Amino acid sequence: MNILVIGATGGSGRAVCDALLERGHTVTALARHASALSARPGLQRVDGDATQQAVLDAVIPGHDGIVVTLGISEPVVRVRLRGAQGTRDDVRSTGTAAIVAAARRAGVRRLVVQSSYGVGDTRSLLRLTDRILFALLIRPQIIDSEIQEGVLRGSDLDWTIVQPVYLTDDDSPEHFTSTDGTIRRNKVTRRGVAHVHVALVEGVVHVRETVSVSG
């Protein structure tokens, strides 16, 4: 399959690219600095802003599916106090809205989008400590993710929302998934979540559903 990964230079995006390439897929990596990724067989790197329709209209056609891992990679405390410096604060919702529109124009229906556990359907399942942390540290990002999920739910594409718990960079591929918000641990590796993205985009399963991912 020919898969487009949008937000490919963040930790989650890199893990998804790795997992797709390991499975033998052809990958197009789109990010503002995608050329910073190491050149690899099967990987095409495209520098571009995922909130710009012209960029998306040029890159999306010809792909079998799209994986979106947009987010802000800057320190959360600094972003909370001063706003994001290198990425627009609403990159998730604005980018996803642009991607949905461009995908419809290109006839690409499969869209797998990473959000966060505790958004939308799973908000009521958060522990009290997590609710406090969310409110103190990442409330703007959570609001943006809520809007992002609303964009997807309002579209007619074959979308799936992936909601991981706290992400780590450990090498374990272990993960547990559910569609009712059930989790096992409060941490999961980016590699494990990447395997979920690959399975979803390969199998076109859990269409118009939210998949929670934990360790």
Instruction: Convert the pLDDT of each residue in 165-212 to its tens digit.
Output: 999 999 999 999 999 999 999 999 999 999 999 999 999 899 999 999
Burial 153-183 (b: 16+ CB within 10 A, else e): eebebbbbbbbbbebeeeeeeebbbeeebeb
pTM above 0.95, yes or no: no
Q: Which helix (H) or strand (E) holds 77?
A: helix 76-82
Compute φ and ψ for 172, nearest 5 degrees.
-70, 135
Ranges in the chain, pLDDT < 70:
72-87, 136-137
Cα 35 to Cα 16, 70, 127: the distances in Å are 16, 17, 40
Number of domains in the chain: 1
**Tokens 């600095």, located at residue:** 33
Q: What pLDDT shows up at residue 84?
A: 58
Work out whether strand 176-178 and strand 187-189 pair parallel, antiparallel, or are unpaired.
unpaired
Q: What is the reported pLDDT for 81?
A: 46
Q: What is the pLDDT of residue 71?
A: 82
Residue pair 206/200 in contact (Cβ under 8 Å)? The answer is yes
The pair of structure tokens assigned to 134 is 């969310």
The range of the structural domain enclosing residue 204 comes to: 2-214
Q: What share of the chain is helix, strand, coil (3-state, %, to 5)?
A: 40, 20, 35
Residue 162: its pLDDT value, please?
98
Helix (H) or strand (E) holding 54: helix 53-59
**The two structure tokens encoding residue 54:** 């012209």
Alpha-carbon distance of 174 to 27, in angstroms, equals 23
CATH number of the domain that 44 lies in? 3.40.50.720
Q: Say which residue the tokens 């995908």 belong to.
A: 103
Q: What pLDDT sits at residue 166?
A: 94
